[in-house]
Amino acid sequence: MSDSSIVVFEQHAGIVVLTLNRPEALNALNLAVLQQLAALLDRLRTDAAVRAVILTGGGTRAFCAGADIRQLNSASPLAVREFARLAVEVNCRIETLGKPVVAAINGAALGGGLELAEACTLRIAARGARLGHPEVQIGAIAGFGGTTRLPRLVGRGRAAEMLLRGRAVDADEALQIGLVQSVVPVDRLLDEAQVFLADILAQSPTAVRLTWEAMHRGLNLSLDDSAQLGADYFGLVAASEDFRIGTTAFLNKQQPRWTGQ
């Protein structure tokens, strides 16, 4: 895709970088951005050449500042609900892509922008980034999944404090509370995302995919049911070629050569 696209697509060595490309609007989400993200995610899901995704923002100021408030201010309540449902669907597609997605947070990640990042497998922030849910400050709520995902990431109390006060945290505090997994200088952000992905992609693709799926599904179950689900997935992965390769390599003190089957 050309750099004039509102979501720039770059692919190298099995890793796709998706860059929100509205820097003049702090990469705010409008209908066109969400529609393009949805189409790209559908494409990436079925592309066997794509092993992982990095999501980041264009420019130097923002990962994504949230929904385009000017657009929402003039929309009907029904249109706002449909917009939110599309955003929820995009975030669900990120979360269930079947491939790891790393949010490289290069600046402000606010409201719907933070909700995009919350749907990713892992989050890495540039030093100086700010993350938060300021929706209550404009009479709104975190309607793209933030009220569900943020408590799962940082706990109910911290999530309630951030959501109800509308308070943003800096990158260091985000790391402290578990909202992001690493904080680096902005010029090292994409390199750090590549390092995280290199560690993940060195593992069995089958085991990685099923581990994430078991985590994602298990969070919506009771502790007992979630543990039983984990046992079921253990049995499922044992039917894979990668399981035989990995266990045989371990016994023979060799490095496994995964097939992803």
Tell me the residue ranges of DSSP E strands in the chain: 7-12, 15-20, 52-57, 62-64, 101-105, 108-110, 122-126, 130-132, 168-170, 182-184
Q: Cα–Cα distance between 202 and 221 in angstroms, integer? A: 30
Q: How far apart are CA 199 and CA 190, in angstroms?
A: 15
Q: Which of 24, 89, 95, 135 is catalytic?
A: 135
The answer to whether residue 173 is catalytic is no
- Told to judge if 135 belongs to the known catalytic residues of this protein, a careful annotator would answer yes
Contacts of 79 (CB under 8 A, 6+ apart): none
Catalytic residue among 115, 161, 173, 192: 115
What CA–CA distance (Å, rounded) separates 259 from 228?
Answer: 27
Active site amino acids: 115, 135
